[in-house]
């Protein structure tokens, strides 16, 4: 294990002083993953946030994740290294537009991917993540009409997995949606290795991959797959987590068009310096409107109980 840098030591000292817990998403910088108490996807980190006993939760991820932590554990101070870390999926689904859309289908249930605002969560019957979307949708009776928001690609993958048609909101993750099927095919030819991709990728991209799953499920799949080399089509920092968890294999980050890997410009706003600063200054703090939080909490907690 390599020693901590001076900046990492400073973060760890402040963390102790503030009685804080650091939650880091699989997509944040390696040096942040190294000082985190928990690393994971939105689902795993939601459980960690709900059950956190520390006074302060520092969420290294994007705003909807930190907001979810505050909704689940409102008595804690929730900090984010950079309050401007948003999400293109979240932007693609404004709550007022979803409310108007929902009014057109008065009998439909709304299942929203966790990558959305608190206000969208408050309009939803239940939340899902990429790790449990199939299970959540299958929880409803077969004839139930479902609006799935905001990711149309994740939604279409869930349709394939469940054999159910849903009413899909037309949003997407601009990073994952940039992958091109022919690039991944070429990569497989070059490395003669299987490809695992995230369900936020387009259908034609998913169709050339060997397996489609959430980031957390990629770890178990990589461990069990017989190949020594695996190509990974999701945000590049996931490779660091995979290398730590499955050290005996080689992982290759699938390059995005015009770039050597796929990056999330919002996740990249999380830096070690900003993590240190937020612990030192106890800012920026996350707050959620109480009425929104109460409704959103019901939808998130339903997901946590249906996921068990």
Residue 26 makes contact with ligand CIZ by CB under 6 A = yes
Q: Which residue is nearest to ligand CIZ (CB)?
A: 41
Q: Of residues 130, 132, 237, 270, which one binds ligand CIZ by CB under 6 A?
A: 130
Element (DSSP H or E) covering residue 262:
none
Residue 86 beta carbon to ligand CIZ: minimum distance, rounded to whole angstroms: 13
Residues 211 and 213: their CA atoms lie apart, in Å, by 7
Burial of 230 (0-12, 13-18, 19+ CB in 10 A): buried
What is the smallest separation between the CB atom of 276 and ligand CIZ, expressed in angstroms?
24
Q: How far is the CB of 232 from ligand CIZ (least distance, A)?
A: 12
Is residue 215 involved in binding ligand CIZ (CB under 6 A)? Answer: yes
Count residues contacting ligand CIZ (CB under 6 A)? 12
Candidate residues 85, 124, 214, 237; the one interacting with ligand CIZ per rule CB under 6 A: 214
**Quick count: other Cβ atoms within 10 Å of Cβ 16?**
10
DSSP for 87-139? -HHHHT--HHHHHHHHHT-TT-EEEEESSS-HHHHHT-SEEE-TTTHHHHHHT
Tokens of 63: 């705003």
Please report how close the Cβ of residue 41 comes to ligand CIZ at its closest, in angstroms.
3
Residues 59 and 65 sit within 8 Å (Cβ to Cβ):
yes
**Residue 42 makes contact with ligand CIZ by CB under 6 A:** yes
Q: Does 236 bind ligand CIZ (CB under 6 A)?
A: no
Give the residues lining the site for ligand CIZ (CB under 6 A): 25-26, 41-42, 115, 129-131, 198, 214-216
């Amino acid at each position: 294990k390599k020693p901590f840098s001076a900046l990492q030591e400073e973060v760890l000292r402040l963390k102790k002083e503030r009685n804080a817990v650091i939650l880091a998403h699989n997509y944040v910088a390696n040096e942040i993953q190294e000082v985190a108490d928990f690393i994971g996807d939105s689902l795993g980190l939601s459980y960690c946030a709900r059950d956190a006993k520390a006074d302060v939760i520092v969420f290294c991820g994007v705003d909807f994740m930190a907001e979810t932590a505050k909704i689940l554990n409102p008595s804690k101070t929730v900090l984010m290294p950079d309050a401007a870390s948003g999400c293109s999926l979240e932007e693609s689904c404004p709550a007022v537009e979803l409310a108007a859309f929902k009014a057109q289908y008065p009998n439909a249930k709304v299942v929203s991917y966790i990558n959305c605002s608190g206000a969208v969560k408050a309009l939803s019957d239940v939340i899902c993540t990429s790790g449990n979307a199939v299970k959540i949708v299958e929880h409803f009776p077969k004839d139930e009409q479902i609006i799935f928001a905001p990711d149309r690609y994740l939604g279409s993958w869930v349709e394939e997995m469940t054999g159910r048609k849903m009413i899909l909101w037309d949003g997407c993750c601009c990073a994952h949606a940039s992958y091109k099927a022919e690039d991944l095919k070429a990569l497989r030819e070059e490395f003669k290795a299987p490809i695992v991709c995230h369900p936020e990728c387009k259908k034609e991209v998913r169709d050339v991959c060997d397996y489609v799953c959430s980031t957390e499920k990629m770890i178990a799949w990589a461990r069990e797959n017989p190949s020594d080399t695996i190509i990974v089509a999701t945000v590049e920092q996931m490779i660091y987590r995979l290398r730590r968890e499955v050290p005996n294999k080689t992982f290759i980050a699938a390059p995005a068009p015009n770039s050597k890997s796929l990056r999330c410009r919002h996740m990249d706003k999380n830096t070690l310096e900003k993590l240190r600063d937020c612990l030192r200054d106890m800012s920026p703090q996350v707050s959620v409107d109480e009425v929104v939080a109460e409704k959103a909490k019901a939808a998130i907690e339903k997901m946590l109980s249906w996921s068990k």
